[in-house]
Each structure stands twice: as C-alpha cells, then as structure tokens.
Amino acid sequence: MTDNKQEIIAEFGKCPACGSTRRFAESVAEEQRGKGLMGQDLPVGVWEFAGPLFDPRLVSKMLVGSKVPTIRVTIDACLDCGTIYAVRLERGEVPLGAVVARPPKGQPPGFVPPEIAR
C-alpha cells in the first residue's frame, strides 16, 4: 500500500443467498458504459462505507504524516432476490494530515478520501 492506493482484500462476484451474478448498481453502470459515459474499471455499488480507522482520543499523540489505515466496503443489491451484500472490500492508508486531527468535541473525525488527499 503505497501512494495512498487502495488494496483489494476481497471481491464477491455472486449473491451469497441465490448465487446470481446480476447486481442492481452494476446493471445501471453497464448501461452508462455502453453509452461511453463511465469507465470500464470503475467499481460501483449502491452504497459505500469508507473512512479511517484510528482512536480519535489518541490522535493528538500521533505525528502529522503518520500513516492511518483506511477501509472501504462497496455494497450492492442482487437483482434476482434483493439481497444486499458486500461486493468489494478494500484497505489502504493515508497520512494523518488527510484526516481532521481535532474534530469538535463529541464529533467523530472527518475523512478526506485518499485520491483527494494527495
């Protein structure tokens, strides 16, 4: 994991409930790709969860520039049975400067995606 790139940990090509490979967001993306409006290599889902993993109570003890691990989970829905499932798991890291080091009291830290933090 260098240059803030995400590493693909796992990809799931089939619905865990029915085994279908047909996914909702992916089907819409394919239509857009057919029109030339979306790149072939862009992973898609109906939802993404992403962010840094660190203890905000201890961030003040970390040096600016320290690497902070990040995770991203891409979620989609099966077109055949409607099951919502993870289709891609990724991890990476960003320098501490890309993460808001001192959020307002009681608020979780903010996050700047790695591709913007460069």
Q: What is the pLDDT of residue 84?
A: 96
Q: Summarize pLDDT for 51-98 with one digit per residue, the tens.
A: 887 777 877 787 777 888 889 999 999 999 999 999 999 999 888 775
Closest CA to 77 of 46, 106, 50, 116: 46
Model pTM score: 0.67
**What residues does each domain of the chain span?**
7-102
